[in-house]
Amino acid sequence: SIMDIFEKAYLYDLADKAREAGIYPYFRVIQSDQDTKVIMNGQKVLMLGSNSYLGLTNHPHVKKRAVKAIEKYGTGCAGSRFLNGTLDIHLELEDRLAALVGKEASLVFATGYQANLGAISAVASGKNDIIVTDKLDHASILDGIRLSFGKMVRYNHADMNHLEKVLKLHKNHPKVIVTDGIFSMDGDIANLPAITFLAEKYGARVIVDDAHAVGVLSADGGGTAKHFGLTEKADLVVGTFSKSLASVGGFVAGEKKVIDFIKHNARSLIFSASLPPGSAGSVMGALDIMEREPERIERLWENTTFMLDGFKKLGFNTGHAETPIIPVIVGDDYQCFRMWKMLEEANIFVNPTVSPAVPKGQALIRTSFMATHKKDELQYALDKFEETGKQLGII
């Protein structure tokens, strides 16, 4: 007889098993705004797992601009950018984002995920196209490639010799290299000088996914290419509004002609409703604050340095982390869950990451930091990491 297509759901027991063992770390419920402390189960918890790098999701000015946009344009556009869903603030936002990352033009999507889907599948829509990716690139890049007609080839994380081999092997194809600017799990920065050099040498284009780098890298928050002085050489920059920019949404920026092509070919843009006015307003507000208060980025980096130094002094392994994303490598999956649980009991929110998300034996606690974390909050975190790390024999 034919199997019920739901059979796999009925047989799925991974989540149930983790719940029964009391080590299920997903879909935790927060009852407050996203701040350095959040409320969970009615209790204050120190948040070390947020992407709100500049701490702007509850900023009064950002909220005010969101409310104003809703008052003027309503709560939704009831259609795609392609047809009835383009507002004047979308265009204003696109001009500001293009300027921020140093590009001619940009295009706003409803999520960063959709920006990658749309940009990559449109750019690599030829059967002969090759998309070259770092093995640690974000899932939305992989999904973009699945929607494209190009072929994916991967190089080992940050391995520029391997990248060159791959480029040489496909020298007779149209090519694009896609890389995270800041890698979302390891917290290291892509070697853009080497990547853009090799791209030029082998005639490839470059897309930088700056989801975690906008608002973080470069003094004005302009991202990875700006940080390296390479805005000319990063052909397309993808960004999201769901991290530093305090909302949800995304964009791709680049040459006018190429952005116009993506605008007319990205299915994730054309067949999906446009960014809601409230989100557009929030992003405008976040950009205002970023311009007015560059010291926020400075504070983010002070906190980053404090935590990187702190973890290292305690003897923790933070891998190649060099940004506000700091993984604390624990090793064993079970140890990782125990450490997460102990930190949770100390009212600290972190994200445990175990195999297969990371290689076996490389289980880690992913921490990320905000400009608004206070020194006493960070010191409390270090103290609790020390306590639990010693108890578990990790340090």
Residue 272 annotated to the active site = no
Residue 59 annotated to the active site = no
Give the chain's largest Cα–Cα span.
67
Of positions 50, 57, 121, 140, contacts ligand PMP by CB under 6 A: 140
- Report yes or no: 217 and 181 within 8 Å, Cβ to Cβ: yes
Cβ proximity to ligand PMP: between 268 and 318 the closer is 268
- 322's CB contacts (< 8 A; 6+ apart) are 187, 188, 189, 308
Cβ proximity to ligand PMP: between 180 and 235 the closer is 180
- Report yes or no: 103 and 130 within 8 Å, Cβ to Cβ: no
Among 195, 143, 191, 142, smallest CA distance to 166 is for 195
Structure tokens at 153: 């080839």
Among 242, 392, 366, 387, smallest CA distance to 307 is for 366
Catalytic residue among 106, 121, 148, 184: 184
Cβ proximity to ligand PMP: between 117 and 307 the closer is 117
Structure tokens at 203: 């005639």
| Per CB under 6 A, 112 contacts ligand PMP | yes
Catalytic residue among 170, 212, 227, 233: 212
Residue 373 annotated to the active site = no
**Contact positions with ligand PMP (CB under 6 A) in 184-203:** 184
Cβ proximity to ligand PMP: between 25 and 310 the closer is 25
Q: How far is the CB of 117 from ligand PMP (least distance, A)?
A: 10
- Report yes or no: 238 and 209 within 8 Å, Cβ to Cβ: yes
Q: How far is the CB of 137 from ligand PMP (least distance, A)?
A: 8
**Contact positions with ligand PMP (CB under 6 A) in 238-257:** 240, 242, 250
Strands 236-240 and 204-209: parallel
Known catalytic residues?
A: 184, 212, 243
Interacting residues with ligand PMP (CB under 6 A): 111-113, 116, 138, 140, 180, 184, 209, 211-212, 240, 242, 250
